Every structure is written in structure tokens, then in C-alpha cells.
């Protein structure tokens, strides 16, 4: 493998990992802060992609699709939190698993009714079309590069919000000790709502961002859900930094696995997960048991 | 419900089950076989979920692996011998359960759910993406297993014979699980569910007990998977997918996790509901999903709660099904599970 192909694969792996990070960070925040396991996370990833296709088909603008898709998903998240998820705080995980499973069925069927089950593609914005010529017969699409950059900026923003802002402080305090936070008169419960909606929006954003490079299809959420779970298990529940490490590990393992060991590439990431479980059952950045 | 009235219900249900193939047309007999096999899977899963307190989302994979084993072991042009293929299939499922369980049980709570889900999906993708089991097309099993002993043989191709074999398996499976939960092993499993720390400090090898339960449950899931594959004559990766695992979990919760037979009732109810919805509505999954969501809020106690609401009786307590281990901490156990702050503090975030 030449250095340039290696670099291209590396870039692919990093880009895949970055998208994975966006989706998985939404999941890990909802886990860590609300204590809610959301199996429907993948369904919102899929829904985001369909929103993007739908809006892009009407307006012809990818930017509109991006903004509109995220806004729609965020509002949907607020609504769901208000109607259903709120009643689940404090219920056992089994109830959360069942509710989110029911939610998947409903979302899938609504998608079927609204958008059908066809496979679609979304055009990237015109100024990001085309590709950079690397060698005579090797080029790299501009959109993928822009995607990397966008994800990096967003990741920095997420870290900034959580580490440096008042909102982030409330989130961290609530995650550490919910009752104490509440007792101190901090409006933790209203923050919950936005965390859940934000998690959904991040999943949808992932789906929107990949819609120009992969196709939009009904089963796209299932694979993503499992991958995000593996990322969270690798990184440690509730840890956004862990999710970043886990996502990059998975992105690189998967990309290079497909190149070097195509026969077993589909199970490589699970082997990785098994290894991490043996080494650190609570994830790489997870807390050790008290 | 009192123990006596419960055994009456069971006796009547068993009589109906035995009489069914004598009166019902073939289609319904086949449908009933399918429902009973789902019931066996649900009973198996409940050993882990209800009595063990471990929410597993990989049981469909264990179920499907046994089906694939039958497909691999069925020679061309004839049926596989049940004496060889059934133990082999169950062994494959148990071994998979042993490996997955050994790794997953290093974690608990949300982690356990996610890890079992991920390993189950690993097996799904293994069969879906590689050519081992015919890829996404799956494999056909043209002939049902041959069930011969001595000179005689049971013809499993006959729907009613197949149904009775399934019924016997189910009864044996239920008997095994009932025996287990009443045994010291079962008491220790329940004690570990209710208060792990205390069970451990009393000297119970919690990890080993849970792993044993997980493997037994996987073996029973394998029996169900073996016969399901034999019935449909076809295995596909979807058999291992986590949607089936979640559906069986719905059956378990609907039927009630505190009794051995509850999940069987839940399975029959869900299979019946699916059939009714499928034949009446185009978008049946929408209604089905809404019913599942409503169940979480309206009927957290499942069918048992519904029955007691209708009959006006006091809700069946856990003691009906399992006499608690005297060493298990009664009060703590009951209240710990209800105190939200304890449950929520399990999952702490640290960024």
C-alpha cells in the first residue's frame, strides 16, 4: 500500500469516526445525564437523513436541509421528552428498552407512510461538489474533507459547552449527583429536556451529514445504533471524551479492517469491544467501580 | 392468585393444548406450534431477565444459531437425525451463550444491555455479510429432522405430530425452569438480583451463578430455535436480529416476569395480537409500536396486572412464584427496586 492510499484510508477512517462520534455523543449524553437508554437513537439517525432528503427535494438546498432537519428533530425530541421520556426517569432500564423499541416501530412505520421505503440520495451543496486530485488516478471528494472539518468544529463546540459554560456546569453537576443539584435550586429538570432533544438532534445531524456520501435507506439506523453502542461501551457511559476515543478507534478499525482483512472485517469491531471489556469492563474512560 | 386456582388454570390450558390438533385445521396447528416455540423462548429469556435481573438483548442470536446448526447438519436429500442434530444445535447455542455471557457479565445495568445487543448483532452480521450461511439469503432446510427410535419413528412432517413434539419440549422446558427457580440455585439467583452486594458477602459466587443461568437460558433458546427452523424449513440472518430479541422481551414483560408461566402467556398474547393486526391493517407495526409504548405506562405489571384489575383481586406478589430465599434481604430488595434515585444514580456521567 502506497503512502498516498494509506493517507486516503486514514482520512476515510477519521471521517467515519467523526460522524460516529457525533451520533454516539448524543447517545452517551442521554445515558449519562438522564440515565435513559434510548434504543431509538438509530431510528432518529435514519429519520434525520429522510428529513434532509425531503427538505432538499423541496428547497433544492442542502444547507436548508441541514438546518431544517436538525430543527425538526430537536423539536421532535422536546415533544417526546415531554410526552413519554419524562415519565421514564427513575423507571428501570427494562421499561426504557421497551418504550424505545415501541418508538422504533412507530418511527419506522411513520417513515414508511410519509416517505416510502425507497432509497434516495442527497446532493451536497454545489460549492462542495467535485474532488481534489491527489495523484493521476486518485482523488478525494471535497465534501468528505468539509465533513471532517465540520465535525471537528462541532466536537470542539460540544466540549466547550460542557466544560466551559454554565449550562455545561449544570449538566455535569446533575450527572454527578442529581438530587443534590436539585436541592441546590438549580433548574436541572428543564435542562434534562434540552439534553434529550439535543441528543436526538445529534443523531439526526449524523444522518443528515452522511446523506450526500451514502444513500438514504430504511435500515440505515440499525447499523448505526449498534455502532454507537459499541462506541459508548468502548469509551465509557456518559463520557464524551471516551466517545471520541471510541469513535475514532472504531472508524479506523473498520476502515483498515476492510482493507487488510476483508473476510472478517464485519466482526473486527466486536473483537475490539470484547478486548476492551476484558481489560476495562467500564470502558476506556469509564469510572472504575467504587 | 392462589396456588390452587393457578394449577387449575394450568391444567385447563394444558387440556386445551392437547385437544387443539384434534379439532383445529392444519393452519392453526402450525400457528400454535409457532406460538408455543415463541413461548419457550420467552420462558427461557425470563430465567435471565425476570429471575436473574439481567436484561439480555442477544437471545434471538442464540435462538437463530441453533436454527443455522440444523441447516448445516441437514444432509442433502434426507432429514437430519434428531438425536444428533438437536444436541449439537443446543450445544452451539449454549457455547455461544457461555462466551457472550462470560464477557457481558463483567458489566451490569445499561452496559449489559448494550454489550449483549452488540454481541448478538455481531453474530447477525457474521451470517449476513459472509458466505458461511448463505449470506443474506439464508439457507433452506428441505426436510424436517428424522425422529426415530428403535424401529418406530415419528413423522415430523405431519403438523399435529410436530405440534405434540413442540408441546412436550415446552412442558419439559417449563418444568426445568420451575425446578431451577425453586432450587437453592434459583434462590441464589434471585438473591443476587435483589441485592448483589449482600449475596456476594454471604458467599454466593454471583458471577458463576449468573453465567450458569445465562447458559441454561441459551440452551433452551436453542431448543426453540432448532424447532422453529425445522418448522419453517428456512433460516435467514433476520432470525438472529435484535428486533426479535426485543419482541421476546415485550412478551416477557407483558406476561409478567415474576412467574415461570407468565412469559408463555405473554408470548401467546403477542403472537395472537401480531396475527390480528397483520391481517387487518396495512401499517400494523404503527399500532403494534403504540401498544408496546402504552404498555410501558399503563400496564407495567403486564397481563397479571390486567387480570387482577378485571378480577378485582390483589396483584399477585412474587411470593406466589418463588418463595424467597430466607437469606435474601426481603425489605431492601423490594424497596431498592422501587427507589428511583438508586436506579438513576447508577448511570453517572463524567465528561
Q: What is the mean pLDDT of residues B339-348?
A: 40
**E runs forming strands in chain B:** 139-140, 147-149, 152-154, 234-235
Tell the residue number behind the cell numbers 445487543, with chain if given: B117
Residue B348 reports pLDDT greater than 60 = no
A284 lies in some domain: no
A230 closest CB neighbour out of B104, B118, B350: B118
For residue A90, give the chain B residue with the closest CA: B340
Q: B interface mutation test: which of A20, A109, A243, A244 has the most B CBs within 10 A?
A: A109
Closest residue by Cα to residue B322 from B221, B206, B177: B177
Q: What is the 3-state secondary structure (H, E, C) of A82-102?
A: HHCHHHHCCCCHHHHHHHHHH
Distance from CA of A93 to the nearest CA of B (A): 7
Q: What is the mean pLDDT of residues A55-77?
A: 94
A44 lies in some domain: yes
Q: What percent of chain A is modeled with pLDDT above 90? A: 49
Residue B268 reports pLDDT greater than 50 = yes
pLDDT in tens, B31-66: 999 999 999 999 999 999 999 999 999 999 999 999
- Cβ neighbours of A285 in B, within 8 Å: 350
Kind plus residue range of the DSSP H or E element containing B294:
helix B284-298
CA B43, B48, B53, B57 dihedral sign is negative
Output the pLDDT for position A130: 81
- Cβ neighbours of A104 in B, within 8 Å: 289
Task: Indicate the average pLDDT of chain B.
Answer: 86
Output the pLDDT for position B339: 41
B77 part of contact set with chain A, CB < 8 Å: no
Report CB contact under 8 Å: B350, A239.
yes
Output the pLDDT for position B3: 66
Which residue would you say has higher pLDDT here, A239 or A96? A96
Which residue would you say has higher pLDDT here, B218 or A121? B218
Contacts of B159 (CB under 8 A, 6+ apart): B21, B26, B29, B30, B33
Q: What is the mean pLDDT of residues A61-80?
A: 94
- Cβ neighbours of B295 in A, within 8 Å: 98, 102
B350 part of contact set with chain A, CB < 8 Å: yes
Q: What is the mean pLDDT of residues A157-166?
A: 90
- Cβ neighbours of A98 in B, within 8 Å: 246, 249-250, 253, 292-293, 295-296
- Cβ neighbours of B128 in A, within 8 Å: 266
pLDDT in tens, A225-264: 999 999 998 988 878 889 999 999 999 999 999 888 887 7
Architecture of the domain delimited by B32-338: Orthogonal Bundle (1.10)
Report CB contact under 8 Å: B107, A282.
yes
Residue A53 near residue A119 (C-beta atoms within 8 A): no
Between CA B16 and CA B38 the distance in angstroms is: 18
**ipTM of the modeled complex:** 0.88
Spans of all domains in chain B? 32-338
Query: How many distinct structural domains can be found in chain A?
Result: 1
Instruction: Band the pLDDT of A290: cuts 50, 70, 90.
Output: very low
Q: A interface mutation test: which of B114, B257, B334, B344 has the most A CBs within 10 A?
A: B114
Q: What is the mean pLDDT of residues A220-224?
A: 90
| Structural domain containing residue A55 | 13-131+142-279
A193 lies in some domain: yes
Residue B306 near residue B299 (C-beta atoms within 8 A): yes
B349 closest CB neighbour out of A112, A175, A233: A175
- Cβ neighbours of B349 in A, within 8 Å: 28-29, 31-33, 171-172, 175-176, 237-239
| Helix orientation angle between B184-194 and B159-182, rounded to the nearest 10 degrees | 70
CA distances from B64 to B22, B166, B219 (A): 30, 17, 12
A285 lies in some domain: no
pLDDT in tens, B184-218: 999 999 999 999 999 999 999 999 999 999 999 99
Cell numbers standing for residue A213: 456520501
Any idea what the CATH number is for the domain that residue A249 is in?
1.10.3470
B118 closest CB neighbour out of A90, A178, A229: A229
Q: What percent of chain B is modeled with pLDDT above 70? A: 88
CA distances from B133 to A85, B72, B272 (A): 40, 8, 31
Report CB contact under 8 Å: B49, A94.
yes
Report CB contact under 8 Å: A90, B249.
no
Q: What is the mean pLDDT of residues A72-100?
A: 90
Distance from CA of A217 to the nearest CA of B (A): 17
Output the pLDDT for position B9: 86
Beta bridge partners of A120: A216
Contacts of B119 (CB under 8 A, 6+ apart): A270, A274, B58, B61, B100, B103, B104
Output the pLDDT for position B1: 54
Q: B327: helix, coil or strand?
A: coil
**E runs forming strands in chain A:** 131-135, 138-141
Which residue would you say has higher pLDDT here, B45 or B331? B45
Report CB contact under 8 Å: B55, A287.
no
A289 lies in some domain: no
- Cβ neighbours of B103 in A, within 8 Å: 274, 277-278
A275 lies in some domain: yes
Amino acid at each position: 500500500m502506497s503512502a498516498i492510499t494509506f493517507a486516503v484510508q486514514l482520512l476515510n477512517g477519521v471521517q467515519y469516526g467523526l460522524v460516529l462520534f457525533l451520533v454516539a455523543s448524543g447517545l452517551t449524553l442521554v445515558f449519562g445525564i438522564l440515565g435513559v437508554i434510548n434504543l431509538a437513537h438509530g431510528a432518529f439517525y435514519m429519520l434525520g437523513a429522510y428529513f434532509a432528503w425531503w427538505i432538499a427535494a423541496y428547497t433544492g438546498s442542502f444547507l436548508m436541509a441541514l438546518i431544517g432537519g436538525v430543527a425538526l428533530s430537536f423539536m421532535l425530541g422536546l415533544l417526546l421528552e415531554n410526552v413519554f421520556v419524562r415519565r421514564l426517569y427513575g423507571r428501570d432500564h427494562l421499561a426504557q428498552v421497551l418504550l424505545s423499541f415501541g418508538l422504533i416501530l412507530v418511527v419506522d412505520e411513520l417513515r414508511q407512510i410519509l416517505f416510502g421505503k425507497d432509497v434516495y440520495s442527497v446532493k451536497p451543496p454545489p460549492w462542495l461538489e467535485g474532488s481534489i486530485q491527489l495523484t493521476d488516478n486518485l482523488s478525494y471528494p471535497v465534501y468528505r474533507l468539509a465533513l471532517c472539518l465540520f465535525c471537528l468544529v462541532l466536537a470542539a463546540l460540544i466540549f466547550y459547552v460542557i466544560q466551559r459554560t454554565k449550562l455545561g456546569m449544570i449538566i455535569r453537576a446533575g450527572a454527578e449527583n442529581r438530587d443534590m443539584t436539585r436541592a441546590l435550586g438549580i433548574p436541572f429538570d428543564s435542562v434534562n429536556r434540552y439534553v434529550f432533544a439535543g441528543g436526538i438532534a445529534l443523531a439526526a445531524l449524523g444522518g443528515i451529514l452522511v446523506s450526500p456520501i451514502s444513500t438514504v435507506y430504511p435500515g440505515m439506523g440499525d447499523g448505526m445504533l449498534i455502532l454507537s453502542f459499541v462506541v459508548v461501551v468502548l469509551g465509557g457511559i456518559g463520557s464524551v471524551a471516551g466517545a471520541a476515543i471510541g469513535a475514532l478507534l472504531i472508524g479506523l478499525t473498520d476502515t483498515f479492517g476492510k482493507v487488510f482483512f476483508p473476510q472478517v472485517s464485519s466482526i473486527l469491531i466486536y473483537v475490539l469491544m470484547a478486548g476492551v471489556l476484558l481489560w476495562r469492563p467500564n470502558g476506556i474512560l469509564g469510572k472504575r467501580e467504587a | 392468585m392462589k396456588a390452587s386456582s393457578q394449577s387449575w388454570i394450568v391444567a385447563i390450558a394444558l387440556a386445551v393444548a392437547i385437544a387443539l390438533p384434534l379439532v383445529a385445521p392444519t393452519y392453526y396447528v402450525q400457528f400454535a406450534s409457532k406460538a408455543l416455540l415463541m413461548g419457550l423462548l420467552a420462558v427461557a429469556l425470563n430465567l435471565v431477565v425476570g429471575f436473574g435481573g439481567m436484561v439480555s438483548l442477544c437471545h434471538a442470536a442464540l435462538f437463530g444459531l441453533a436454527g443455522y446448526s440444523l441447516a448445516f447438519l441437514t444432509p442433502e436429500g434426507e432429514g437430519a437425525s434428531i438425536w444428533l442434530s438437536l444436541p449439537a444445535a443446543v450445544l452451539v447455542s449454549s457455547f455461544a451463550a457461555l462466551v457472550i455471557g462470560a464477557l457481558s457479565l463483567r458489566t451490569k445495568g445499561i452496559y449489559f444491555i448494550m454489550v449483549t445487543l452488540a454481541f448478538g448483532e455481531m453474530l447477525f452480521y457474521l451470517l449476513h455479510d459472509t458466505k458461511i450461511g448463505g449470506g443474506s439469503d439464508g439457507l433452506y432446510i428441505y426436510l424436517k429432522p428424522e425422529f426415530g427410535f428403535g424401529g418406530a419413528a415419528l413423522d415430523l412432517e405431519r403438523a399435529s405430530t410436530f405440534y405434540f413434539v413442540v408441546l412436550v419440549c415446552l412442558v419439559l422446558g417449563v418444568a426445568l425452569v420451575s425446578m431451577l427457580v425453586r432450587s437453592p440455585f434459583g434462590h441464589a439467583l434471585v438473591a443476587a438480583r435483589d441485592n448483589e452486594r449482600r449475596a456476594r458477602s454471604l458467599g454466593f459466587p454471583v458471577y458463576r451463578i449468573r453465567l450458569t443461568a445465562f447458559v441454561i437460558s441459551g440452551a433452551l433458546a436453542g431448543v426453540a430455535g432448532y424447532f422453529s427452523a425445522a418448522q419453517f424449513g428456512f433460516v435467514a440472518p433476520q432470525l438472529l436480529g435484535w428486533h426479535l430479541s426485543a419482541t421476546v422481551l415485550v412478551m416477557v414483560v407483558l406476561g409478567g416476569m415474576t412467574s415461570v408461566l407468565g412469559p408463555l402467556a405473554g408470548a401467546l398474547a403477542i403472537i395472537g395480537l401480531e396475527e390480528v393486526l397483520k391481517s387487518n391493517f396495512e401499517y400494523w407495526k404503527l399500532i403494534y409500536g403504540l401498544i408496546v409504548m402504552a404498555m410501558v405506562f399503563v400496564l407495567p405489571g403486564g397481563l397479571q396486572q390486567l387480570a387482577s384489575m378485571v378480577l378485582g383481586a390483589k396483584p399477585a406478589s412474587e411470593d406466589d412464584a418463588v418463595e424467597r430465599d430466607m437469606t435474601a434481604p426481603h425489605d431492601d430488595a423490594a424497596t431498592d427496586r422501587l427507589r428511583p434515585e438508586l436506579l438513576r444514580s447508577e448511570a453517572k456521567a463524567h465528561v
